[in-house]
Amino acid sequence: MTDLALFESLLSCNTVEELHAKTSAITQRMGFEHFLYGMQLQTKSGPPWQFILSGYPEDWVKHYSDAGYQNVDPVVKHCIQNVIPVVWDDFVSLRPAAKKVMDEAKDFGLATGMSCPLRGFGNEQALLSVAIDRTTRAARQDMFHELGNVQLLANYVHEAVRKVVLKKT
Amino acid sequence: MNDLELFESLLNTCTTDDLHSAISRVTQDMGYEHFIYGVQVNISLTRPYQFILSGYPRDWREHYEKAGYAHIDPTFRHCINEKRVIPVIWNSKVFSSRPAARLMSEAKDFRLASGASFAVHGRNGEAAMLSLASSRSSKQARTDIVGTLGKAQLLACYIHEAIQRLVLSKDALAIRNVSLSEREKECLRWAAEGKTSWEIGNIARISERTVIFHLQNASRKMGVSNRRHAVARAVSMGLVFS
């Protein structure tokens, strides 16, 4: 079941901190320990502008950024090329560098997870990942159960980010 | 069956007719009698390309087109013109302007009494929307719509993915030239039956590693990034049974 009131509460956030707290609370209520929303905006000239709302373990985010994993992360690649979510376990034919990212993520507690892509007005490109640190069958089943709601949550977080960060309504 | 398995059946369809029937089944199961999916690609500013897959009453579609209702339809504006990403649940507030209110009341006469519209935006700048409608206008109908909102949004994404492959992507034609080895086909066939790599290995009397190797090669040949897509694509392209 979708709890619409919960998702709609994101739209009344006025600051990034509020948005973070609310997204964190919602994903936890859905059974996920970690989340990450990332958005990229292609600028006319120069590098793309990025905004990240991270509920991932801090040391993983730092390691990921230091190692430049964004360029080899299969989740990022999937979300750029597709409009449907990906369940991380389903990746096959990963290059060694991509596999390394996924394996290391597991070591940081991002064991079972999925990512939902989305695109918005103009050239906004975004994704929402959610993860749990268990790899049990039950954990996977719970995740599948929430698949639609996670995609919908991605859409609501994006709408809220447009309002709070991009100042668009 | 979970939502993922249900929706992945949409990716296995070979024609838009197949896709249409698959969507009808899924949406009826969700409690909606009618659906319509439309996509607009702005290849030219004056005459955008449009593709519509309609499960709406035919006479309502004709009336809507003839009256040029896309120009006053707030759900069309929300999803296609403004490219918003959150769904719109139909209510009198959404259809508040006088022409929009008339549109809504006429739709009711065609048994489109309550519903919601969902937006999907693709990687080539195309804007798509899915509307799901029910002839019921009770409070319960609204509760049902809200309760399945996540599932419906996901459905919109899967329909768009299928349309990209069946209609929008010219690349799909090139994929027909992919040739898979017998072992690759065998592994894909069992994967399509829901077997794990380990189980396939037991059936085909090869190691689990070899199964993964074959599935990886097949995925690479078809230009897809994961196992589910490889299976879906191989099945839809008729690659595994030849």
* Number of other CB atoms surrounding residue A100 within 10 Å: 14
Split at pLDDT 50, 70, 90, the class of A123 is: confident
pLDDT value of residue A43: 67
pLDDT value of residue A42: 74
pLDDT of A45 above 80: no
Instruction: Give the mean pLDDT of A60-76.
Output: 96
CB-nearest to B2 from A92, A145, A152 is A145
Domain segments of chain A: what residues? 4-164
pLDDT value of residue A114: 96
Contacts of B7 in chain A (CB under 8 A): 84
Summarize pLDDT for B13-65 with one digit per residue, the tens. 999 999 999 999 999 999 999 999 999 876 545 567 889 999 999 999 999 99
Q: Minimal Cα distance from A123: which residue of B? A: B125
Superfamily name with CATH number, domain A4-164? Transcription factor LuxR-like, autoinducer-binding domain (3.30.450.80)
Contacts of B166 in chain A (CB under 8 A): none
pLDDT of A161 above 90: yes
Contacts of B87 in chain A (CB under 8 A): 152, 155
Contacts of B146 in chain A (CB under 8 A): 2, 4
Split at pLDDT 50, 70, 90, the class of A44 is: low
CB contact under 8 A, B227 and A87: no
pLDDT value of residue B226: 83
> How many Cβ pairs within 8 Å bridge chains A and B?
113
CB contact under 8 A, A4 and B146: yes
pLDDT value of residue B175: 43
pLDDT value of residue A41: 86
Q: Minimal Cα distance from B6: which residue of A? A: A144
CA distances from B203 to B88, B133, B206, B208 (A): 48, 45, 8, 10
Mutate to test the interface with B, among A1, A3, A10, A119 (most CBs of B within 10 A): A119
CB contact under 8 A, B2 and A90: no
Instruction: Give the mean pLDDT of A10-33.
Output: 97
pLDDT value of residue A15: 97
Collect the ranges in chain B with pLDDT lower than 70. Answer: 1, 42-47, 170-178, 236-242
Calculate what percentage of chain A has a pLDDT beyond 90: 76
Contacts of B82 in chain A (CB under 8 A): 121
Q: Write down the ipTM of this complex.
A: 0.95
Residues 6 or more apart from B235 whose CB is under 8 A from it?
B12, B188, B192
Dihedral pair phi/psi, residue A43, rounded to 5°: -90, 160
What is the per-residue DSSP string for chain B?
--HHHHHHHHHT--SHHHHHHHHHHHHHHTT-SEEEEEEEE-SSSSS-EEEEEE-S-HHHHHHHHHTTGGGT-HHHIIIIIS---S-EE--TTTT-SHHHHHHHHHHHHTT--EEEEEEEE-TTS-EEEEEEEES--SHHHHHHHHHTHHHHHHHHHHHHHHHIIIII-THHHHHTT----HHHHHHHHHHHTT--HHHHHHHHTS-HHHHHHHHHHHHHHHT-SBHHHHHHHHHHTT-S--
CB contact under 8 A, B4 and A83: no
CB contact under 8 A, B153 and A119: no
CB contact under 8 A, A151 and B157: yes
Contacts of B4 in chain A (CB under 8 A): 87, 144, 147
